[in-house]
Structure 1
Amino acid sequence: MVMVNQDTFTGPSFSLKNRIGRVIWGVFAALFFRLSPRPFHSWRSFVLRCFGAKVGRGVHVYPNVKIWAPWNLDLADECGVADGAILYSLAKITLGQRAVVSQGAHICAGTHDYTRPGSPLVAMPIEIGDHAWVAAEAFVHPGITIGNGCVVGARSVVTKNMPPWTICAGHPCKPLKERIMQEA
């Protein structure tokens, strides 16, 4: 757990360098990321790399994905992030090989500690394992690990780590059954 600022009422939660970087990213994202044609995945991967993201081969990030800080992204080979997804990368967000984040899903790596004066910002990394799938409009809380092969159902709210190779759903999200892959 990383506490960035002890009092969000008296000052910014991030350094001047971080804030300037996000302004520059916002301009580039508006011009060169969001306006790029849907099939231009390699171009968007290149733009993300230019801003410090670690991006593997064959990654598909669609143009209407909202990314807060690309330098906090680690995207493994062949993972995908669909239009309308939000990667609120206050801390590191890692997507494993062939992981999928569907439309409208919100991966949120930060919150505020409401038990302390000033409600300091708390940023915690999120890891989504290889072959995992976060379905449409699911919300993943800060500090969560979603295991390899795990499927998080649509509109689920993930408040605890989810085990590998399970189907999980609900509010709060809970493991429901084992995920069994069939032969092709």
Structure 2
Amino acid sequence: MVNSDTHTGASFSLSNRIQRVIWSVFYVVFFKYSPKPLHAWRAFILKCFGAKVGKGVHVYPKVTIWAPWNLELDDECGIANGVELYSQGKIFLGKRAIISQGSNICTGSHDYTKKGHPLYTQPIHIGNMAWIAAEVFIHPGITIGDGAVIGARSVVTKDMPAWMVCAGHPCKPLKERVITD
């Protein structure tokens, strides 16, 4: 952050803000209204803006992305329409992980205990084969373990363990996730 007092100036550098303006134009013209099946096209655009994108990634056109250069998407992961990737900090999405529609993955917040209400960011890690169901909110600095399922409309304020079904407000582990053939 370039400014610790959000009342007197921007939290991000001028170059960061210019990059986001350029990204916003490309997003509207080439990404947001692209046909749904063109996942490879959207992956290409994300790579052009610095995202690390694996093979077979499905990012749908109506995903809102704050800064693609802060994304790392592993092979065959999927991000549905209506997802908000508030990537002020890094977001890591594991292999075959899924984020369902309406979810908000938020890496930034403000420190209300400090004068100036400064912005801070913390990375979010979503493990391999994890499923973030519809309209989940994930706070900054959270790790979702491999294979975890986060139930619809949950609010995740703490790390969630691997291979557990978790839900609630606040989100809590409920039972083991067992995959059968």
Query: Structure 2 length as normaliser, TM-score?
Result: 0.99
**1: CA distance, partners of 2:98 / 2:104:** 12
Change (3 A) 1:29 1:169: same
**2: CA distance, partners of 1:106 / 1:145:** 14
Amino acid of the residue matched to residue 12 of structure 1? A
Q: 86, 108, 118: which one pairs with 1:110? A: 108
Equivalent in the alignment of 1:88: 86
**2: CA distance, partners of 1:50 / 1:139:** 28
Equivalent in the alignment of 2:37: 39
Please state if 1:147 is matched with 2:145: yes
Q: Deviating runs (4+, > 6 A) in structure 1?
A: none
Equivalent in the alignment of 1:11: 9
**2: CA distance, partners of 1:4 / 1:100:** 34
Equivalent in the alignment of 2:129: 131
**2: CA distance, partners of 1:66 / 1:173:** 24
Aligned residue pairs, count: 181
| C-alpha displacement of 1:5 | 3.0
Q: 59, 81, 100: which one pairs with 1:61? A: 59
CA RMSD of aligned residues (A): 0.7
**1: CA distance, partners of 2:127 / 2:33:** 29
**2: CA distance, partners of 1:178 / 1:12:** 44
Is the CA contact 1:4–1:120 (under 8 Å) kept in the aligned structure 2? Answer: no
| C-alpha displacement of 1:4 | 5.5
Measured against aligned partners, the alpha-carbon deviations of 1:3-45 in whole angstroms (never above 9, x if no partner) come to 6631101110001110000000000000000111000000000
Equivalent in the alignment of 2:161: 163
